[in-house]
Amino acid sequence: MKALTWHGKRDVRVEEVPDPVIKEPTDAIVRITSTGICGSDLHLYEVLGPFIGEGDVLGHEPMGIVEEVGAEVSHIRPGDRVVIPFNISCGHCHTCAQQLYAQCETTQVRDQGMGAALLGYTKLYGEVPGGQAEYLRVPQAQFGPIKVPEGPPDERFVYLSDVLPTAWQAVQWADIPDGGSVTVFGLGPIGQMAARVARHLGYRVIAVDPVPERIGMARRHGIEVLDAGRVDVAAEAIRDMTKGRGTDSVIDAVGMEAHGSPAAKLAQTVTGLIPDRAAAGLMSRAGVDRLAALNQAIDTVRRGGTISVVGVYGGMADPLPMLRMFDKGITLRMGQAHVKRWIEDLMPLVTDDADPLGTEDLATHRLPLEQAPHGYEIFQKKRDGAIKVLLTP
Ligand code: NAD
Ligand code: ZN
Ligand code: ZN
């Protein structure tokens, strides 16, 4: 089959690789019909090289049709239309029982001290080949795959693999009070959806990004926006909009920003970044302040407020402004999304004819799998108006 494989920094290729086969009675094989490129893939593309094996198959946002199931998989069968959560969880261990699926004890990479295995996230997270491919072996398929109805286009469901539950959890973790307000830093796919979810739940939303097309998309969905390319200090501007207080909550949907993007030059605060041993120093070399968004979030949130960090950071960050965080009494909550935990909340929204979250207005590009390398490039460089790129194997 054809699959998107990693070969080096900014070097991904579509190649012939062996077809996946059932290895465990809890596996399933799925023929992929749509699969997203995510901001998290950009970390592999740009900075996480030391963790990746040449030829690793990437991708963690797939959906498709079940081809084959192992003996212990009974809730889905060949022919079913399914979307696959990006975290691989067993559904029955100590942490899964608490719906902390991203921390599944059955699949976590214990010797590296990491959480649940992830699809397509290399040896960092369990070395499970990913879903930017024609076919995918899904481990723990007795629990993971989510059956979706026939009829509506893939765009309605494909984001249940990651983007929507991640955005939903970001809003839950932000702990916004009734009638309250939230600032969303970053208007990539995650920030777009976090802003839409927060608005859908009735909160005031202000969103910040430097990329005109991304600002335009959020504005189209009724979000108040700040152009980070024009406003010098977002925190000050947001205090001006909120009686001097800042918003009740802030969502950081940026994380470590890929080097070379238009946003990299936005770095405003100088923070040192001490690489951890495993990262072998590479993450600190980009020469940009990878904590720009988090520092702005700390400045922006009102006293006693909550910051929900949904963007992924790597390495060790030092120093965080601990006195400022302590004095303001900030709560910080973060982590990978527990995908399946939020599906019950989201399914009624994605199947609603009115498409309240605008799932059909997120993908700016739909490319054949063969053009995946081009998709990575335009998504990273924010070229050609790329906001969400979906691949069609
Ligand atoms: P993306 O790279 O398209 O989005 C990042 C956005 O942040 C871009 O639009 C960029 O212009 C903007 N930005 C950069 N610096 C900024 C700044 N200082 N202020 C305001 N905006 C700024 O990626 P995405 O797919 O939307 O993902 C966003 C983050 O979420 C990534 O770090 C990704 O790894 C992470 N993520 C986390 C989870 C999870 O489970 N927690 C799941 C999926 C993605
Ligand atoms: Zn993703
Ligand atoms: Zn588990």
271 and 325 in contact (C-beta within 8 Å)? Answer: no
- Ligand 1: distance of its center to the CA of 155 in Å? 20
* List of E strands, the chain: 2-8, 11-16, 28-37, 62-69, 81-83, 135-138, 146-147, 181-185, 204-209, 224-227, 247-252, 273-274, 301-309, 316-317, 331-334, 363-368, 388-392
Spell out the domain ranges in the chain: 2-162+338-392, 166-334
The alpha carbon of 142 and the centre of ligand 1 are apart by a number of angstroms equal to: 31
For the whole model, what pTM was predicted? Answer: 0.93
Distance (Å, whole) CA 140 – CA 131: 15
Class of domain 166-334: alpha beta
Quick one: pLDDT at residue 315? Answer: 67
Give the whole-angstrom CA distance, residue 121 versus residue 124: 6
Residue 127, pLDDT score:
95
Per-residue pLDDT of the chain (393 residues; tens, 9 = 90+): 999 999 999 999 999 999 999 999 999 999 999 999 999 999 999 888 888 999 999 999 999 999 999 999 999 999 999 999 999 999 999 999 999 999 999 999 888 889 999 999 999 999 999 999 999 999 999 999 999 999 999 999 999 999 999 999 999 999 999 999 999 999 999 999 999 999 999 999 999 999 999 999 999 999 999 999 888 789 999 999 999 999 999 999 998 764 434 444 333 222 223 233 333 333 333 334 557 788 899 999 999 999 999 999 876 655 688 899 999 999 999 999 999 999 999 999 999 999 999 999 999 999 999 999 999 999 999 999 999 999 999
- The fold of 2-162+338-392 is Quinone Oxidoreductase; Chain A, domain 1 (3.90.180)
What is the per-residue pLDDT for 113? 85
CA of 37 to the centre of ligand 2 (A): 7
Residue identifier of the C-alpha nearest atom 2 of ligand 1: 39
Is the ipTM value over 0.90, yes or no?
Answer: yes
**Cα 334 to the center of its chain, rounded Å:** 12
Give me ligand 2 centre to Cα 65, in Å. Answer: 20
Paired strand residues for 367: 391
Q: Which atom of ligand 1 is nearest to the CA of 335?
A: 41
Ligand 1: which of 312, 377, 380, 387 to mutate, judged by most atoms within 8 Å of the beta carbon? 312
